[in-house]
Amino acid sequence: MKVSDVDFSQYVVSLARGVLAGLGELPDPETNQSVKNLILAQHSFAVLKMLAHKTEGNLTSDEHHLIQTLIQDLEQRMNTQSK
């Protein structure tokens, strides 16, 4: 069974999309509807933070910049929603 590689940056972006979807800021591509699911948002965000920590020192500068920028941006959105 051939296994295609998974790219770190693409994976990180897919997790970030999970956060946005959970915050109701990204419609489901199939239904075109936004469904808020804060548990999903929190979980995907926590995975991003765990990955940033566990991959420290092993990322290219682009990858590092991407994950840090996404975490900052998503953290702000989550804080805004919880106010």
- Can you give the binding site for a second copy, defined by CB under 8 A? 1-8, 11, 38, 42-43, 45-47, 49-51, 53-59, 78-79, 81-82
* Residue 13 or 81 having the CB closest to a second copy: 81
CB of 83 to a second copy, least distance (A): 9
Query: What stretches of the chain show up as alpha helix (H) in DSSP?
Result: 8-22, 38-54, 61-81
CA distance 2 to 52: 28
CB of 42 to a second copy, least distance (A): 5
* Residue 1 or 31 having the CB closest to a second copy: 1
Tokens coding 55 = 């991959």
